[in-house]
Amino acid sequence: MWFGRRRARAATVLAAAALLALPACSAEDEETLVDAESLTIGVKADQPGLGLEEGDALVGFDVDVARYIAARLGVTDVAFVPVTSAEREEKLISGEVDMVVATYSITPARKTEVTFGGPYYVAKQDILVRAGENAVSGVRDLEGRSVCQGEGSNSAFRITDGLGIDVSEIQEAESYSACIERLADGEVDAVSTDNLILAGFLAEDPEAFQFVNNPFTDEKYGVGLPYGDVAACEAVNKAVSEMYQDGTASALLDEWFGRTGLEVVRSVPQFEGCDRPDDQRRPRQ
């Protein structure tokens, strides 16, 4: 993988520089994904409409967005690999993937580990319950009920810590598809996460579930990049702008979510900016 080789080369160069007491190279000499000849991109493999494994292929809105961004970077040699929510930072930091496009909400804590391009979409957190459940009409109705979230996600904690709602239990499953199975089996009362994720699962089995359809947060989906790669961040933002301006984003949203009834956002998101927050990064253990 290009970026993995980049890390190995960078480590060798740094070691040699230390040995020979050479001055450090300038920021202008740093390698960046903008120069990549190939990319390995992490996407979800179990989220219908976003990233789903079908046969030997991974398909969905996130996959198509990642492919568009890679093309705008001038890269046609692209490999997609599955990642879970819990794996995203580590796979970027280790160099197993060069980029992550996997419903990756931008948060201050995550910004200390990776650099984010985008967001490429702003989703809203909502709630999915079993069909016929009429007692949950908003997030406050989750008081005393059990909620499932995917491992590595913050969605249920936004309800408890962010809004102060006392749910009876938070279950963490290995993925959101596992949460949906628990909801179907009656093991939890609700699954709460981004509405694009929930819409994909609802479209798969509309007779089993229903949307509460009362969103309560904005979730900014970012493109995860190696920490400090400002040039790649700026190139990604330019690509995302073009994706909305040329109509591709709207067409992809229609393709993957047009039949769900979800009211999607078609305007260019407001970008976070690409400055490197050196003073905020946590030391790695």
Residue 248 pLDDT exceeds 80? yes
CB within 8 Å of 23: residues ≥ 6 apart:
17
CB 125 within 8 A of CB 221: no
CATH of 124-217, one of 3.90.320.10, 3.40.50.2020, 1.10.10.10, 3.40.190.10: 3.40.190.10
Phi, psi at 71, each rounded to 5°: -65, -40
- Please name the residue ranges forming H helices in the chain: 2-20, 61-72, 88-94, 108-111, 155-157, 176-184, 195-204, 230-245, 248-257
Domain 2-123+219-262 matches domain 124-217 at the CATH topology level: yes
**pLDDT per residue as tens digits for the range 139-193:** 999 999 999 998 888 888 899 998 999 999 999 998 899 999 999 999 999 999 9
Tell me the pTM. Answer: 0.81
pLDDT band at 283 (very low <50, low <70, confident <90, very high): very low
CA distance 280 to 98: 22
Provide the CB-side half-sphere exposure for 61 (13 A, CA).
Answer: 27
* Nearest CA among 252, 263, 226 for reference residue 35: 226
Would you place residue 2 in the very low, low, confident or very high pLDDT band (cuts 50, 70, 90)?
low
Distance separating alpha carbons of residues 212 and 29, to the nearest angstrom: 51
Query: Are 236 and 69 within 8 A, CB to CB?
Result: yes
Burial state string for 32-67 with b = 16 or more CB within 10 A and e = fewer than 16: bbbebeebbbbbbbbbbbbbbeeeeebbbbbbbbbb
Please state, in angstroms and rounded to a whole number, the distance separating the CA atoms of residues 17 and 184.
58
Mean pLDDT taken over the chain: 87
273 to 129, 135, 207: CA distances (angstroms): 36, 41, 42
Q: Which pLDDT tens digit goes with each residue over 266-278?
A: 999 999 889 765 5
Size (the chain), residues: 285
Helix axes 230-245, 61-72, angle to 10 degrees: 110
CA distance 182 to 176: 10
For domain 2-123+219-262, give the CATH number: 3.40.190.10
**Residue found under tokens 């995203």:** 88
Contact 136, 145 (CB under 8 A): yes
